Amino acid sequence: MSKPIFEIVDSLPKGGPTVMALRSLDFAVPGQWDNLVGFDNTIKTVTGETDPALVQQIGERAVALYNDKSQGYQRALWLYETVDSASGMLGTAAMMNRIGQDTFLGFLKHVTPKPEKAQSLDLCVKLVTELVAFCQINGIPGDSVGDFVASLGDYSGESLMRMAALTCFDGLIPLGAGFTDKALSVIQGTSPSDIEGNQTFKGVRDLIPGKDAKQKHDFITESFGATKGWMDGFVASKGLTQANVLDHLSRFVEFSSDKLDYLGALLDVTVKYYRHTGVQTLARRLTERAYAEI
């Protein structure tokens, strides 16, 4: 049996590497994210209601909705968890690759992917995971790219923070300026069989629309192409650069700028922002629906 949703939300950390890394992005999305944790606390904050009996009633409906597997909430959580852990494995692979370039273990670079290519694919797969998880939570058919793009404009709170983290931690930091163009050209130049070897893709492949690797690859390419404009606009409107993101991040982790691919890998391994903010989104949506239905 999977863990109850109230325990999952209650056990979200109040501090640690993920929370600190996300806090460093407050300058990009000021005031949007305040690390809302705790099941009852989420209900009270989202609804503005404090009557214990009403909070309990909302909570009970939220638990029931989450436990009904046909409603997609458990699948969304699985996606958020899986993309984080698979991406952590990519981080380890990227570290191995970097070590391979620096030391006598040169042969390692032949067996681990090039960081830039792996990071590009990682970015594309993570973005598509967001799309699929969004549809599982909000109930819009899984391959409706247009609805997703329209909704991106209305992302706020922890969802906007997740997109900011994706843009900064999986785009700007490892790939630098013009990361969306780089990622798009990588995914376009990657064969369906290549993408099958990507760890992050392997983790979530079953829930990506498409009956075979080619269709899934097409879906990822189209989705990334369609949402690239939003990411470019986000970076431009917030004035985000690799330098200013690193500057804010350096307040919680020490690194030197010539070891950026180590940093990307370190973030991959230690920062689980997809799961953390994904649980927060899930709790918020469940609360909203539960209160509307009771």
Partner 1 sequence: MMTARWLKVLTALCLSVLLFVTACSKAPSSPYSQIQDETTGRGAPKAVAKAAEQGSSFNRFFPDSKSYNVIPSQEKKGFAEYKVNKDGKTVAMLSINDTTSLPTAALKYKSSTSTVAGYPSVEQGTTTTGILVGDRYQVKVISRDPSFTQEERVAWLQRFDLNGLASLSPNTAKATLPEVVPSQQPQSSPLRRLLPQPAM
- Positions touching partner 1 (CB under 8 A) are 1, 4, 6-7, 39, 47-49, 51, 54, 56, 59-61, 63-65, 67-68, 70-72, 137-141, 143-147, 150-151, 154, 156, 209-211, 215, 217-219, 221-223, 225-226, 285, 288-289, 291-294
Closest approach, Cβ 115 to partner 1, in A, equals: 25
Q: Please, which residue, 24 or 223, has the CB nearer to partner 1?
A: 223
Other beta carbons less than 10 A from residue 49's beta carbon: 14
CB of 135 to partner 1, least distance (A): 10
**How many other CB atoms sit within 10 Å of the CB of residue 177?**
14
CB of 130 to partner 1, least distance (A): 16
Shortest distance, position 258 Cβ to partner 1, whole Å: 37
User: Which is nearer to partner 1, 74 or 85 (by Cβ)?
Assistant: 74
Decide whether 119 or 281 has the Cβ nearer to partner 1.
Answer: 281
Complex with partner 1: residue 45 or 85, whichever CB lies closer: 45
Closest Cα partner for 116 from 181, 68, 193, 72?
181
Q: Which residues contact 24 (CB under 8 A, 6 or more apart)?
A: 248, 249, 251, 252
> Would you say 42 or 97 has its CB closer to partner 1?
42
Contact 121, 129 (CB under 8 A): no
220 by Cβ neighbours in 10 Å (0-12 / 13-18 / 19+) ranks as buried
If DSSP codes are grouped into helix, strand and coil, which group holds residue 215?
Answer: helix
Question: In sequence order, which residues have a C-beta less than 8 Å from that of residue 55 and are 6 or more positions away?
Answer: 40, 43, 44, 47, 49
CB of 36 to partner 1, least distance (A): 15
